[in-house]
Structure 1
């Protein structure tokens, strides 16, 4: 087994917080986590957009006023993985009236498309402008263990299938190789006069994910998609994530 320095660039992880989130999920017999696992990102120092979970229209309105506009609203349901397919995502909400209307529309229309789905509420997030979408993921390989993955995120990962893999844990050189190794790296480096993306922030995020999945081998799958990477020197920020625990 390769020996790798797992030290992070800044403060170390809060394993206790992450362990508590995973323990609560197991006690609730939930193997797949979404919004509720955002605390794990915080525990490992991975920047994420400001986000909140609300169960009612009034809660959504109040939280929206607190977070500020523009906002993104996403339906929260264990049975719905691809939210956009059922109208479960609203972008660029600019005021409270739009928040209320979007909430009512989701609660009324999604059950017609997915009568099997339990709608627990909605997730509200800051809407980021600019940047490029990337994906950082992991899947447990039966032979090699945690296998990290990096590529362009959003719809591009499914269309282009341009990703790089590495066995965790990785060091900084390996993390950089994952980023620079994708065919579309020139888009991140600054193509056609664009300013380069914050590559160092991506490398740091990969190192933190590597540390996380090595600390908690019960994580079967992990995915940040998208992570918005901003211009060089301004960071990267997780927008959505999914985590799946081993059933045993």
Structure 2
């Protein structure tokens, strides 16, 4: 098994029409300064490392960074972490965090998972799994069966997410799991869902 880097994983996912947040990978202070001129604050910074699975727990994720001074401090801190390969600078997107995953099951073949994302994945375990190929109706039913569906749809005056765009994203992941037969596991967590679109901010693919 081989774990691909975020950029390698992203390239494969983009072939199937998945959208990602604007990002840039840097390895030095000089590259950081150049990259910051292309971003508006606030930004997020994430360590690039194949050895670190739970980046947040390791101190490898910082969000809502509002100045170049803070960004430089964060860079210096992350560079000390074991397994450091670089840092991903990313635009901040506000919305509802979703997880979308894929797994090649021994019995059922390629499957796709969708659920509440971010740090709540392991707490609430609110997700649904579909067997590929996943059609529009299948994707809709997967979303509708989530406990968080009322929140996703919009509740108490709060606008919901673009359900149709989420359905389309699930279908794209299904297509990817079917065609990219060397993919064993796929993890898009989080995916930010807004009333307009679905944007992935992190990707991890494990291949055979």
The question of whether the paired residues in 1 share the 8 Å contact of 2:111 and 2:177 is answered with no
Q: Pick from 85, 89, 112: which aligns with 1:120?
A: 85
Q: Deviations over 1:91-133 (max 9, x none)?
A: 112222221111001113x2xxxxxx4211101100112x100
Higher relative strand content: 2
Instruction: Provide the C-alpha distance between the structure 1 equivalents of 2:146 and 2:116, rounded to a whole number of angstroms.
Output: 8
Q: Deviations over 1:141-162 (max 9, x none)?
A: 1011011111010122211111
In structure 1, stretches of 5+ residues that fail to align are 1-29, 111-116
SS in 2 for 1:66: coil
Which aligned segments of 4 or more residues in structure 1 are displaced greater than 3 angstroms? none
Q: Which residue of 1 aligns with 2:5?
A: 34
* TM-score, structure 2 as length reference: 0.95
Q: Within the alignment, does 1:208 sit opposite 2:179 as a pair? A: no
The question of whether the paired residues in 2 share the 8 Å contact of 1:65 and 1:96 is answered with no
Q: Which residue of 1 aligns with 2:126?
A: 162
The question of whether the paired residues in 1 share the 8 Å contact of 2:45 and 2:63 is answered with yes
SS in 1 for 2:50: coil
In structure 2, stretches of 5+ residues that fail to align are none
Q: Pick from 61, 64, 67: which aligns with 1:89?
A: 61
Q: 1:1-248 maps to which residues of 2 (within 5 A)?
A: 31-36=2-7, 37-108=9-80, 110=81, 117-129=82-94, 131-231=95-195, 234-246=196-208
The question of whether the paired residues in 2 share the 8 Å contact of 1:73 and 1:122 is answered with yes
Instruction: Provide the C-alpha distance between the structure 1 equivalents of 2:36 and 2:14, rounded to a whole number of angstroms.
Output: 21
Instruction: Provide the C-alpha distance between the structure 1 equivalents of 2:89 and 2:186, rounded to a whole number of angstroms.
Output: 21
CA RMSD of aligned residues (A): 1.2
Higher relative helix content: 1
Structure with higher Rg: it is: 1
Aligned length: 207
Instruction: Provide the C-alpha distance between the structure 2 equivalents of 1:87 and 1:223, rounded to a whole number of angstroms.
Output: 20
Q: Which residue of 2 aligns with 1:20?
A: none
The question of whether the paired residues in 1 share the 8 Å contact of 2:96 and 2:193 is answered with yes
* TM-score, structure 1 as length reference: 0.80
Could you tell me how far 1:67 is from its partner in structure 2? Answer: 2.4
SS in 2 for 1:208: helix
